[in-house]
């Protein structure tokens, strides 16, 4: 490993008020995990990490550690912080190989999870621990959502996700229906008809945002989220322009480099990139170029015309006259975030979305449709994985409490029972 795990563990001060833990969105008990490791209680440390965060192996690799746990470490104030990411990865991946526990005894209640991204996986695992009969409906061929289809292999190996599917889903009795879109052949109404006591929607945000400029439909133009889905099918050429400078744009640029592109430039409309320092530094190290304060105005077959802008302190932009410049390229990849698909909302009565197409849900995950819960990017827009996991833990508990409150009236169909009780719960949350 890049760092010797025990050397890093021995650097921990075991602070009485651990700032590292305060910096973690999911409140991981970092000092305790390190203490257990040092006392040769690795399995106990691993169990604790997985109980708190079902995606701890993933988060150890892709979290924004520099602004979270490691960024809050007291040792980082005047030197180098404890690299908990390395410690967490060692503990979680080593302990994962010991996980052999089978499914909990069923409590007889069905739950449907729509989408197998970070939010869906988290809620499926937590509810399976309570004994619910969980079925995940995934639109693609494998589980993972943005973890599998939006993060490059060099940052998050697919084997990590395959291990999660085996140890956390199949071994726990969670069933997965791949290549199944809800809202088309199967609807929300069908799920309630078949006795699902509650339904979780975690469909993520897969609709790429567009620039709405001339030339955007040309054959040399692609969207970042689509490119990351399967970069092997794209032929970008040697010179590539990436429009955008967030973390996803860094992934696009670094992936293109690994697939044959030689000259890659990321364009940012602002004075600096939006990506984390960590991702930005890796992109620079690998030879990615950056241009600042340029906005695209037209895409050509041989490149992009950008216009120079001046950025004011209030965040507004002013065009610089006579500054239009053609930057040549073989291909253009637009990576300016993405929004939700709307098919599910449009096909489900009583389910409301805001003007951006994101599902309306309160802090506990209750949507405007009784019995349906939501969290993750489908509610909050594109956020970090650990934020999605943290919020989904709250929503999973809400779903558990909701289903346990359902009346046990054998004369009612599951759909009738869910509908009656959900109406009461929805009034409490939305009156």
Q: 203-246 pLDDT, tens per residue?
A: 888 888 999 999 999 999 999 999 999 999 999 999 999 999 99
Residue at 102 is within a domain: no
Position 232 in a domain: yes
Is there a single domain that holds both residue 85 and residue 170? Answer: no
pLDDT in tens, 362-414: 999 999 998 999 988 888 777 889 999 999 999 999 999 999 998 875 434 44
Same domain for 228 and 320, yes or no, is yes
Q: What is the pTM of this model?
A: 0.88
Residue 395 domain-assigned (yes or no):
yes
The CATH number given to whatever domain includes residue 131 is 3.50.50.60
Whether residue 429 is predicted with pLDDT greater than 70 in this model: the reply is no
- Average pLDDT value for the chain: 90
My answer on whether 183 and 258 are in the same domain is no
Please give the pLDDT value at position 4: 87
More confident residue, 8 or 342: 8
Does 129 share its domain with 68?
Answer: no
- Report the domain count for the chain: 3
Task: State which of 283, 309, 337 marks the end of a domain.
Answer: 337
**Taking a C-beta distance cutoff of 8 angstroms, is the pair 93, 157 a contact?**
no
Lowest mean pLDDT among 83-87, 116-120, 135-139, 350-354: 350-354
Mean pLDDT of the 318-339 span? 95
Q: What is the CATH number of the domain that holds 10?
A: 1.10.1060.10
Residue 342: pLDDT band (50, 70, 90) is low
Say if 365 falls within a structural domain. yes
Q: At which of 63, 96, 129 does a domain end?
A: 96
| 189 belongs to a structural domain | yes
Residue 370 lies in a domain: yes
**Residue 314's domain spans which residues?**
208-337
- Is 287 part of a structural domain of the chain? yes
**312 and 216, same structural domain?**
yes
The domain boundary residue, chosen from 337, 372, 387: 337
Q: Do residues 231 and 83 both lie within one domain?
A: no
Same domain, 179 and 218: no
Report strand pairing: 317-319 vs 196-201: unpaired
| Residue 214 shares a structural domain with residue 326 | yes
Tell me whether residue 379 is in a domain. Answer: yes
Domain shared by 67 and 156, yes or no: no
């Amino acid at each position: 490993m890049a760092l010797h795990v025990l050397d890093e563990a021995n650097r921990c001060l075991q602070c009485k008020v651990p700032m590292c833990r305060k910096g973690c969105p999911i409140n991981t008990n970092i000092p305790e995990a390190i203490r257990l490791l040092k006392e040769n209680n690795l399995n106990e440390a691993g169990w604790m990490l997985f109980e708190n965060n079902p995606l701890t192996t993933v988060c150890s690799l892709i979290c924004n550690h520099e602004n979270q746990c490691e960024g809050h470490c007291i040792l980082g104030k005047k030197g180098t912080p404890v690299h908990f990411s390395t410690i967490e990865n060692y503990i979680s991946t080593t302990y994962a190989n010991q996980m052999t526990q089978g499914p909990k005894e069923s409590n007889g209640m069905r739950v449907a999870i729509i989408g197998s991204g970070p939010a869906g996986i988290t809620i499926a695992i937590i509810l399976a621990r309570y004994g619910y009969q969980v079925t995940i409906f995934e639109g693609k061929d494998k589980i993972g959502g943005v973890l599998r289809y939006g993060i490059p292999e060099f940052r998050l190996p697919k084997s990590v996700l395959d291990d999660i599917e085996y140890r956390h889903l199949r071994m726990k009795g969670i069933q997965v229906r791949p290549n199944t879109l809800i809202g088309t052949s199967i609807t929300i109404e069908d799920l309630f008809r078949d006795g699902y006591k509650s339904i979780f929607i975690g469909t993520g945000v897969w609709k790429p945002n567009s620039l709405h400029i001339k030339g955007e439909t040309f054959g040399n133009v692609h969207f970042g989220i689509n490119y990351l889905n399967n970069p092997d099918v794209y032929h970008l050429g040697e010179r590539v322009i990436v429009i955008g400078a967030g973390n996803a744009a860094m992934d696009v640029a670094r992936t293109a480099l690994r697939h044959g592109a030689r000259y890659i430039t990321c364009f940012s409309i602002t004075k600096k990139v939006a990506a984390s320092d960590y991702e930005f530094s890796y992109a620079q190290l690998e030879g990615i170029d950056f241009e600042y304060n340029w906005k695209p105005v037209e895409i050509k077959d041989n490149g992009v015309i950008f216009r120079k802008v001046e950025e004011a302190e209030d965040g507004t932009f002013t065009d610089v006259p006579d500054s239009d410049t053609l930057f040549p390229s073989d291909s253009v990849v637009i990576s300016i975030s993405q929004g939700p698909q709307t098919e599910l909302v449009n096909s489900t009565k009583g389910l409301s979305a805001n003007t951006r197409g994101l599902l309306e849900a309160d802090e506990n995950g209750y949507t405007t449709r009784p019995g349906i819960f939501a969290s993750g990017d489908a509610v909050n827009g594109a956020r970090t994985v650990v934020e999605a996991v943290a919020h989904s833990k709250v929503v999973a508990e809400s779903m558990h409490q909701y289903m346990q409150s359902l009346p046990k009236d054998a004369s009612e169909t599951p759909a009738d029972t869910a509908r009656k009780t959900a109406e009461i719960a929805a009034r409490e949350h939305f009156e």
